[in-house]
């Protein structure tokens, strides 16, 4: 489960729900239209991948990830 946040609202480890995200965010394709998911923030967002997702991104070249716990959206990263 990836999340989208700007650099000011990056996930701080460890998260209370047990999710662990990579410290190296991915850039969404068409980044101008992807915004931070923090309430009230309209800054451009980066995609923070969970550790296992980051391995798929780095080693398997996976580029599409589900965002959020309800799988409400998908994002393509470059």
Q: What is the pTM of this model?
A: 0.82
Q: Residues 8-44, buried b or exposed e (16+ Cβ, 10 A)?
A: ebbbeeeeeeebebbeebbebeeeeebebbbeeeeeb
Q: What is the tally of structural domains in the chain?
A: 1
Q: Which domain holds residue 61?
A: 3-76
Q: How far apart are the first and last CA of the chain?
A: 17
- What is the percent of the chain with per-residue pLDDT over 90, rounded to a whole number? 44
Residue pLDDT, tens place only, 6-18: 999 998 776 777 7
Enter the DSSP assignment of 63: -
- 13/10 Cα distance (integer angstroms): 10
- The larger pLDDT score, comparing residue 3 to residue 33, is at 3
């Amino acid at each position: 489960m990836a999340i989208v946040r700007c650099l000011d609202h990056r996930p701080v480890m460890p998260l209370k729900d047990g999710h662990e995200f990579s410290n190296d965010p991915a850039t969404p394709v068409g980044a101008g239209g992807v915004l931070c998911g923090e309430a009230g923030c309209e800054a451009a967002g980066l995609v923070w991948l969970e550790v296992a997702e980051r391995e798929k991104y780095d080693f398997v070249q996976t580029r599409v990830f589900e965002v959020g716990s309800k799988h409400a959206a998908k994002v393509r990263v470059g």
